[in-house]
Structure 1
Amino acid sequence: MLAFLKNHPFAVEAFFESSLVLTYALPVSVLEPLIPPQLELDIFQDQWAFIAIAIVKTRNLRPKGFPAFMGNDFVLTGYRVFVRYTNSVGKRLRGLYILKSETDSKKMEFFGNLFTHYSYTTTDISITGEDDMVTVRSVASGLNITVDTGAEAALPAGSPFADWKEARRFAGPLPFTFTCNEHSGEVLIIEGVRENWMPVPVSVLHSEAGFLNTPALQGALLANAFIIRQIPYYWKKGKMDLWKR
């Protein structure tokens, strides 16, 4: 029963006030050990794989179809690897594999871990804005990020992308999220649906992320950064697929 509950048994909707995403490039050999065998990395130029930090300010998050007043407002942080999965009928899907999830709410931690496999923990994260500046801070998670959303943004120094058009492919949202059972070979697929997803490049003035301070992930190159504002979003009920080895 508990296992079934964790498999996204119903659709969920929310309004995204903002979604700030910083994407980092690492050699394929660094990220390959972090994903299960059912998945493969989404690779750029035969050498780069990507890990992203997404900080999302949600409003009225609730089961789809419930009235908005029954929802709750949360900040959600996800650490995700860009991956591909070939399903049981041979269709290749681009999506995300979640390494870790955080929230500013014990309530979200409880229900998030009841209905997903995303391993939520509660942290002291906050998002503040003044003029065109957006700042994300968390002492517990080692997050200290400041971006300028108003200036014409250049790609971060050292980015493997030649321009924003090339980077746009990795600016999401990748429609699918995958959770894998390595023993049974089953893959849980959750599809996200959105409207008017227009990522705006931002200039990163400062970025610290404790998650990237592990020995394996040190040296990650900031590849792109963007923000999306004021969009409705929902996640469909999870679907189980049996991986063909």
Structure 2
Amino acid sequence: MWTPTLRGEIQRRLLVNYRLDPEVARSHIPAPFRPQLHNGHAVAGICLIRLGAMRPAGLPGMVGVRSENAAHRFAVEWDDPAAGRRTGVYIPRRDTDSRLGVLLGGRAFPGEHHLARFDVSETEDDLHVAFSARDGSASVSVDATVAPDLGGSGLFDTVDEASRFFEQGALGYSATHTAGRFEGLRMHTSAWKVEPVRVTEATSSLFDDPQEFPRGTAVLDNGLLMRRLPVAWEPMQTLRQEPVPR
């Protein structure tokens, strides 16, 4: 089935990043993926992104749609028979306030979505972004303010180091309702730029759940912000993990 490249604008992309115990992270990441380690830690987080003028490539921006979206994500690597070691992100779930996105995600373009309510308040310096899934299965709330540096990150020494790490994770594979089947999207932008933010408060129904992440195994590390960037989302070939014979 033909799947179009989508174009639009990243109006705001807030990355809230956690450093994880590698063994605990491994229990959340299915084969063929494995945690991508940085400074001895696994890396995960929440992407809170507002997209504007999103439409199939070739159509004018005036027909595009705007939406608030969220993705839980783990930095991963895997082995490709043709290309060798690859890096990107594994996305166990996506949420959106767009009913159209829920309807078309996993059908007309990659990425199955849950419908959610978003609560957003932001200025040039301060951001509040929260969502709750309409079925009650997930919730996140983040408050952040623009900062001069990463504020003592245990993952990255500099903003440039963090920027390079996440730029290499532009390829994402999303879980689907079919076990072992992952739908891929690659993000392209001609103006990659991040700025640090200080996350003053963050709650996550996933990373704060002690049954999923025992105390001390998921630690809020840093925040990064991208704003007003042109973007294209390129569908990638679906990745399938063959079941292991018994």
**Structure with higher helix content:** 1
Partner of 2:225: 227
Aligned pair count reads: 236
Of the structure 1 ranges 169-178 and 104-113, higher mean CA displacement relative to structure 2 is found in 169-178
Q: Tell me which stretches of 4 or more aligned residues in structure 1 moved more than 3 Å.
A: 115-119, 139-142, 160-173, 183-189, 240-245
Question: Percent identity of the aligned residues?
Answer: 19
Structure 2: distance between partners of 1:131 and 1:242: 42
Structure 1: distance between partners of 2:150 and 2:98: 34
Partner of 2:54: 61
CA shift, 1:189, in A, is 4.0
CA shift, 1:26, in A, is 0.8
Structure 2: distance between partners of 1:213 and 1:16: 28
**5+ residue gaps in structure 1?**
none
Structure 1: distance between partners of 2:143 and 2:85: 36
**Structure with higher strand content:** 2
CA shift, 1:124, in A, is 1.1
The residue type paired with residue 231 of structure 1 is L
CA shift, 1:200, in A, is 0.2
**5+ residue gaps in structure 2?**
none
Partner of 1:11: 5
Structure 1: distance between partners of 2:5 and 2:237: 11
The residue type paired with residue 41 of structure 1 is P
Structure 1: distance between partners of 2:179 and 2:24: 26
The 8 Å contact of residues 133 and 146 in structure 1, kept in 2 or not, is answered as yes
- Structure 1 vs Structure 2 CA RMSD: 2.9
The 8 Å contact of residues 15 and 225 in structure 2, kept in 1 or not, is answered as yes
Partner of 1:217: 213
The 8 Å contact of residues 49 and 82 in structure 1, kept in 2 or not, is answered as yes
The 8 Å contact of residues 156 and 204 in structure 1, kept in 2 or not, is answered as no
Partner of 1:199: 194
Q: TM-score, normalised by structure 1?
A: 0.83
CA gap 1:217/1:172 in 2 versus in 1, 3 angstroms? farther
Partner of 1:155: 151
Q: TM-score, normalised by structure 2?
A: 0.83
Of the structure 1 ranges 65-74 and 113-122, higher mean CA displacement relative to structure 2 is found in 113-122
Structure 2: distance between partners of 1:97 and 1:87: 15
